Structure 1
Amino acid sequence: MKRQNLPAVFALSMIFSLLTLAGQAKPETKTEADTLQVPQNVKVILNNSCFGCHNTDSRNDDAKEELDLKTWHQLTGTKRLLALKHIRETIEENEMPPKKFLQHKPEKALSAEQKKLLIDWVKQESTALLKK
């Protein structure tokens, strides 16, 4: 190989290396319930009434320990099924959002239609997980 071609070969190898490294970069971490693969109408409900407390960055330690929607994608099938069961039960028993929380933020209350949408989503997700 001629000496005059060495800079071009070096430049091409550097470009190739940078492109390879760029392809291996970690994807951005999302900070909303959008990390969940859910229908848009369910995302809206989760973002409005649930995500504020149930995420890694929440100041509500009990809520984020109970359910962290930001790390939902990391749950195994069994843990996800258990979380879905818990979500369904707390909605059906009118425990979420908590009454004390709703005293300060009544706009976060779930309507009957929103509860039905969430419960239907939970049933659908549970069925899909059981079929895997």
Structure 2
Amino acid sequence: MKIFKPKNLFLILILIFIIIQFVPVEKTNPPVTAPLRASDDVTHIMKSACYDCHSNETVWPWYSHVAPVSWLLSDHVRNGRRHLNFSAWGEYPGKRKLKKLDEIAEEIEGGNMPLAGYVKMHSEANLSAEQKQVLIDWAHAAMDTVSLD
């Protein structure tokens, strides 16, 4: 008698899937301490395309509660916030703001942000050329207003 018959293998996989649902994953939205201040137009675009990964205002979709997807999303959001967090923008020193503004423009111009995988799951993040240009223009203009303290 083989242990790894197709039926047994399927049952083992189902059991593993059920067990991994009990592995805790951190999905938090810490307090917004020093949010980015921008025009309503820029804020609206950013909230639809950037904030789920780059702020403390993540909207966790239903599939973020199902392992192993929950692990991937939690890690992705944690890394996104570490790289750029619009909820803590006001706490960034001037040099960091300048660097991030330059990166924002560069990533959007290069077609790297928002991520293609995110856009596939969130159609509202599929920015038009005009919306992308609004963000790029904002980033360039904001660089002129940053104080280097």
Q: Same fold (TM over 0.5)?
A: yes
SS in 1 for 2:52: coil
Could you tell me how far apart the structure 2 residues matched to 1:71 and 1:46 are? Answer: 15
Matched, 1:115 2:132: yes
Give TM-score, length-normalised by structure 2.
Answer: 0.61
SS in 2 for 1:95: coil
SS in 1 for 2:100: helix
Could you tell me how far apart the structure 2 residues matched to 1:57 and 1:35 are? Answer: 10
Matched, 1:126 2:143: yes
Runs of 4+ in 1 over 6 A off after TM superposition: none
Report the Cα offset of residue 57 of structure 1. 6.0
SS in 2 for 1:96: coil
Alignment of 1:55-66 (within 5 A): 55-56=55-56, 58=58, 59=74, 60-66=77-83
Matched, 1:46 2:22: no
SS in 2 for 1:88: helix
The sequence identity of aligned pairs, in percent, is 28
Gaps of 5+ in 2: 1-30, 59-73
Residue by residue, what CA displacement relative to the aligned partner does 1:101-125 show, whole Å, maximum 9, x if unpaired? 1121122111111111101111111
Larger radius of gyration: 1
Could you tell me how far apart the structure 1 residues matched to 2:101 and 2:35 are? Answer: 16
Q: CA RMSD in A?
A: 2.2
Instruction: Give 1 or 2: higher helix fraction.
Output: 1
Could you tell me how far apart the structure 1 residues matched to 2:87 and 2:126 are? Answer: 21
More relative contact order, 1 or 2 (CA 8 Å, 6+ apart): 2
Which residue of the other structure, out of 97, 105, 110, is the alignment partner of 2:114? 97
Could you tell me how far apart the structure 1 residues matched to 2:116 and 2:122 are? Answer: 10
Could you tell me how far apart the structure 1 residues matched to 2:92 and 2:127 are? Answer: 25
Report the Cα offset of residue 35 of structure 1. 2.4
Could you tell me how far apart the structure 1 residues matched to 2:124 and 2:39 are? Answer: 22
Change (3 A) 1:93 1:115: same
* Number of aligned residue pairs: 102
Gaps of 5+ in 1: 1-28
Report the Cα offset of residue 130 of structure 1. 6.5
Kept in 1, the 8 Å contact 2:93–2:148? The answer is: no
